Structure 1
Amino acid sequence: MTKQKPTILVVNDDGITAPGIKVLLEEMQQIGKVIVVAPDSPQSGMGHAITIGKPLRIDPVTIYPEVEMYKCSGTPVDCVKLAVNKIFKGRKPDLCVSGINHGLNNSINVLYSGTMSAAVEGAIESIPSIGFSYDDHTFDANFDHCRPYVREIARQVLKNGIQAGTLLNVNFPQGQLKGAKICRQADAKWAEEFDERLDPYNRPYYWLTGKFVLNDRGEDTDVWALSHGFVSIVPVQFDMTAHHAIPQLNAWSFKL
């Protein structure tokens, strides 16, 4: 009996026409049956936002030959929710992959990322999930050196599975790759600034700017791996409980 190919949901946050999603779906076609559900416009930085105040639309599109594709009017997380409930009709895909994002989603960026939030939603739905990101924001970014890793990491997840409640955050540096490293998320943050300007009516408006501040010199982090030419693979969980803090809080005496 011929083994049935796995079904793979492909999503992103850069929009259904972004070059990164084309690379991802092409690599997933080497592994299984691909269904793409992606935003109809860029949704970067949306985090885990969902649409609740207006209707959602999901429409089939023909962009690449022999690929089942749908554009969604909502967020990356909306795409996963609609895919599971309407496209797959409650039948879970074997794998959910998100990206390839134009720009890194390492360290604290994972919290803001629409790419990673789509993968997180896949994991919440008990689907083995991976988010892929590349350190190049340009539209014509060359993803060729990422391709073998994308394919192999996806194959390993399908073969071995991922522990319930977790997913993988995979980031690629530019240049020649030295290999892949399993990492922890680096302790870093964005020190934001807001560039204030005036509109033609002399009213202020603001552009978000800032710089990435690294507070972590460990050599086991995603930031270190990427800066030294390695692909970083960070296991991520959506249980945000600070378990280590529970004993301290239990020692408090609440005088109520």
Structure 2
Amino acid sequence: MKDKPLILVTNDDGITAPGIRTLINVMKTLGDVVVVAPDSPQSGMGHAITLDSTLHIEKIHVKNGDYHAYSCSGTPADCVKIAVNEILDRRPDLVVSGINHGSNSSINVIYSGTMSAAIEAGIEGIPAIGFSLLDYSWNADFEPSKPFIKTIVKNVLKEGLTDGIVLNVNIPNLQQKKIKGIKVCRQARANWKEKFDKRKTPQGKDYYWLTGTFVNYDKGKDTDEWALEKGYISVVPVQFDLTAHHALQQLNTWNLNE
């Protein structure tokens, strides 16, 4: 009998976050699960890795014992690295990251610890998916997303992913409405208009809070932002080769070797 697929689960909100609990429960219906996740929130860490301090791993007691779990003192990317190289006894068939409390659509993918864990797995040649729900609340309702997550994961396990590609999946926060379905999309052209809220400590020293407004410049009907606004789950294939291939021809016309 063929072994069940081995699924590594991680996130950036920390190992105690409700989102990762939901993802674990769905993955247990599809394969053998090992969890390696940060021991504290690591949102917005991007693809940071730990180079100048030690990493610590702690095995977590799982009440019913139907999966293995470890907390890691490092970043989401660290979690994938240490899981693949030190914890697992074989390479995982899939890495899933999330479910993130908050959006990772459009430009947010650049800053996302959730997606960086998935991208790290992709760099290792492992199919990977990052899942996010557009609700920052710790008490967010992940239940409506479960059947859709299962469908996406089953397809990836069956079909695989193109080398160098991972999936960025975002789920709309519809509250009383039903999710309409799943749309394969491109990343919308959007960014944050940032503002720093300047304040003073009681001792008179300046400090700052980063705030901002998300601005979507993209009116296309094939983007993740459009799909989410219309009540669909967006699935964006993401590549970690950042080469702007379309610009190579122009740059090769420059006189760079005078």
Q: Distance in 1 between matches of 2:20 and 2:186?
A: 26
1:23-102 maps to which residues of 2 (within 5 A)? 23-66=22-65, 67-89=67-89, 91-102=90-101
Q: What SS class does the counterpart of residue 256 from structure 2 fall into?
A: coil
Q: What are the superposed Cα offsets for residues 2-41 of structure 1, whole Å, 9 maximum, x if unpaired?
A: 2210000000000000000000000000000000000000
Q: Distance in 2 between matches of 1:178 and 1:101?
A: 20
Q: What SS class does the counterpart of residue 30 from structure 1 fall into?
A: coil
How many pairs align?
A: 254
Which residue is 2:126 aligned to? 127
Identity across aligned pairs (percent)?
A: 58
Which residue is 1:216 aligned to? 218
Q: Distance in 2 between matches of 1:216 and 1:190?
A: 13
Q: Distance in 2 between matches of 1:198 and 1:4?
A: 59
Which residue is 2:160 aligned to? 161
Q: Normalised by the size of structure 2, how large is the TM-score? A: 0.97
Q: What SS class does the counterpart of residue 202 from structure 1 fall into?
A: coil
RMSD: 0.9
Q: What SS class does the counterpart of residue 233 from structure 1 fall into?
A: strand
Q: Distance in 2 between matches of 1:84 and 1:64?
A: 24
Q: What SS class does the counterpart of residue 115 from structure 1 fall into?
A: helix
Question: Is the 8 Å Cα contact of residues 62 and 68 (structure 2) preserved in structure 1?
Answer: no
Q: What are the superposed Cα offsets for residues 48-85 of structure 1, whole Å, 9 maximum, x if unpaired?
A: 00000000001101145222000000000000000000
Q: What are the superposed Cα offsets for residues 203-232 of structure 1, whole Å, 9 maximum, x if unpaired?
A: 100000010011110000000000000000
Q: Distance in 2 between matches of 1:228 and 1:215?
A: 17
Query: Which region of structure 1 is more displaced relative to structure 2, 64-73 or 166-175?
Result: 64-73
Q: Distance in 1 between matches of 2:172 and 2:255?
A: 49
Which residue is 1:193 aligned to? 195
Question: Is the 8 Å Cα contact of residues 26 and 146 (structure 2) preserved in structure 1?
Answer: yes
Residues 1:64 and 1:46: Cα distance change in structure 2 (over 3 Å): farther
Please state how far the C-alpha of 1:174 moved relative to its aligned partner: 1.4
Which residue is 1:250 aligned to? 252
Q: What are the superposed Cα offsets for residues 175-199 of structure 1, whole Å, 9 maximum, x if unpaired?
A: 2111000000000001110000000
Which residue is 1:20 aligned to? 19
Q: Distance in 1 between matches of 2:222 and 2:63?
A: 39
Q: Which runs of 5+ in 1 are unaligned?
A: none
Please state how far the C-alpha of 1:255 moved relative to its aligned partner: 5.4
Runs of 4+ aligned structure 1 residues displaced above 6 Å come to none
Which residue is 2:144 aligned to? 145
Please state how far the C-alpha of 1:168 moved relative to its aligned partner: 0.4
Q: Distance in 2 between matches of 1:4 and 1:116?
A: 28
Which residue is 2:233 aligned to? 231
Residues 1:194 and 1:8: Cα distance change in structure 2 (over 3 Å): same
Q: Distance in 2 between matches of 1:194 and 1:64?
A: 44
Q: Distance in 2 between matches of 1:93 and 1:188?
A: 34
Q: What SS class does the counterpart of residue 118 from structure 2 fall into?
A: helix
